[in-house]
Chains A and B, each alone.
Chain A
């Protein structure tokens, strides 16, 4: 398995090498996604397209979905790194996966326990861990309706 372009010495080249092999596979075809933002290139490996409907990651929006309040500095710091990794994920688009069944996990048996309720012995310890508790309620602030 060869490397893509020049083998760059240093910490990151091994990744480029390992990803190199099937990026150069001749039977693959791909189109360059027409992105509004400037594509970030990682060494000599440029971002490949996904389906043209996939927008690049919008970190602010993702943070809202994930319920993490990022500072503007964090958004600026994370965006290029996330972009880089998502681009790297994109290489799976070019692999022929027709008629391959997805695996949820390694094979495991179907082990269900009986549907019988049990009492948890350490209820006090569990309640003790709640930051804001007023027996018997877990206190939360008001929930605003979405605007």
Chain B
């Protein structure tokens, strides 16, 4: 698990000691099978609260297998993401992060659930709301904050910014600013996977706003025509910038928009449902070609830091979702109801996360800005001894390594 390194081994074992304290379980979560003895690897089967809705395919079962270890990892990862995004908010207001900053808090379950269902060999490509996906794919907090503040130590050497996180070795292809442009790229990733026959899939994420882009339908046609192992995931947070989905789309049933491409609607605030759906989608894509997943999710912040987020929706709506559907709270309740950890232990975890995030920020703040020569690096790739000289060479040619 990408974020496992954050958990020190000693605190892990504390959390997983068998706990027989009776804690009240909330009735809203149906947990037909629970285990009082919290063994790391014991399988828990939990039913998701919202069933899947399928289009042109059989919905997977809403009983999801998980383990205590996995649930605690979910909690830790999502809490880290939540804390990181809130910290980014403060940094933006302190003008340490500039330009555009699109925050993912509220949608953490989509990133974490997806990661749990796949391997690092599968590819993920997303749009600009990519901080948490980068973290889930193996990025460190330091790399994230350095890149956000434009420092040399950032994931893209400070030259990309908030919208351009990439991690090639972990199969994370970014990080793209133009709405919808990542979808054909993602289909290209799937094409390459089919070309090299390596049994992996590509998850192509986009939002409800991008779902109206023509290139998406072009890409869908191409993917379906050649049975590419692509999974198109619509992270439907119901608002495309400032326009609600019902004002932008004639048919907001995004999972059905593929027509001949099967689709599945998933409760995107439930990490276990997301995990189940992604697992199902991966199996489907490898056999039958593309599938669309619509994650019904929500973002607490506005579209970006320049958007207050309250001019097109009511504060009541935001706080209502936060109370009833918050992904981190759901996992917390699950963990507590299955006696996997005490309230205090979870609070300690959160404190630890907060400390780690603060440390990463402090370190990133001290880190150096990119060297001026970095302006000209990475414009072209050098190689083959070709003389790639700029237009202002006069007498001397340089043979590049």
B is bound to A: no
A interface residue numbers (CB < 8 A to B):
none
B interface residue numbers (CB < 8 A to A):
none
